Amino acid sequence: MKMLKTTLLCSAMALAALPSLGAAQETTVNMINPLPRSTNFFPLVVGEALGYFAAEGIKVNLLPSDTSIPYVAFVQNGQADLSMLDPVETINAINAGVKINTVYEVMQNAPEAIGVLDSSQYDSVDDLVGTTVGLVSDRDRAFLQAALDVVGKSIDDVQTVVLGESGPTLAAAIRDGNVSAISGAAPDWIALNANGINVRLITPDELLASPANTFAANADTLEEKRGAMEGFLRAWSKGMYVASVNPEAVAQMLRKGVPEEWENEAAGQLFLDMSIGMNVSTTERLGDLQTGVWTALQPRLLSSGAIEKEVDVASFLNDTYIAAANDFDRAAVEADAAAWLAANK
């Protein structure tokens, strides 16, 4: 934790030397997330295609995601208005004394999972005891440990091997029986599918609900930036909602907006199906904050060593923008999507 505090301080000093990205236009919302415009975060692409951000007077500026600086530092310093963080990044930042608030849950279902060959004998994580489980990267070890914990087992009850992100390598490992299962995430199942491998997920239900990606904002500037932030989140919510009522329109918007992800039509559609499952909110209010889920996930993060100590979720969860983010006409959005698809088939 001391290292994180030092890193954040140095990062903030380095960022302070950069010019302010939002100074010229008050309506620009600077955001940093793990990917550029992508099927993985389709509400941005859909919101832009249907003009929802523009209608709110918002221009979205995506900051470069390929950086060694912790994303939270961009919010801390003011270079980003919103930073997309996972639960571990969020809780470690709070433990380090960073003044951020989680204001919107982008994904409420975990992208991580435990996958087995569709034709295999393994039906639950419990069946993996005594076998070798593949990890796409070492960061997938914590999720495997959490899955084993759910069934009363330990990471010591299996052997693990890091396989890397190469689709052919993952496919060969599980097809040839070198591993019984793979602990990975949505893009890995797509890579396997592209290499002719059908995967069946055996993730314990207890791990499915997770605020996997959230928007964090500087706690000191919530009121100052309210107008722009509410407009941004309302446009994002509209883009999310379209997937619930017209996934065909979403697919076509992505074919046009991020064609490189749709060169293989089957892979693109699979990616979208998985992304819809992660991005469409399970709460009644889109993007709402799940106090119980945040409280329940911390013990397993603590036991795996991912966080130093648990924190009071009331200290950082703030739904101040949620009502505005949901204040839109659903029927009008449905009509917009239908009209767009009719004009862009």
Average pLDDT of the chain, as a whole number: 90
Confidence band, pLDDT 50/70/90 cuts, at residue 100: very high
Whether the per-residue pLDDT at 89 is higher than 80: the answer is yes
The distance in angstroms from the start CA to the end CA of the chain is 52
Which range, of 135-144, 211-220, 289-298, 313-322, averages the lowest pLDDT? 135-144
The 10s digit of each residue's pLDDT in 179-208 is 999 999 888 988 898 889 999 999 998 888
Closest CA to 316 of 138, 130, 75: 75
What pLDDT shows up at residue 25? 46
Confidence band, pLDDT 50/70/90 cuts, at residue 8: low
The string over 91-104, giving b where at least 16 C-beta atoms fall within 10 Å of a residue's C-beta and e elsewhere, is bbbbbbebebbbbb
What pLDDT shows up at residue 306? 82
How far is the C-alpha of 255 from the C-alpha of 261, rounded, in Å? 8
How far is the C-alpha of 192 from the C-alpha of 69, rounded, in Å? 31
The pTM of the full predicted model, rounded to 2 decimals, is 0.83
Sheet architecture: strand order including 199-201: 159-162, 132-135, 181-185, 112-117, 199-201
Confidence band, pLDDT 50/70/90 cuts, at residue 4: low
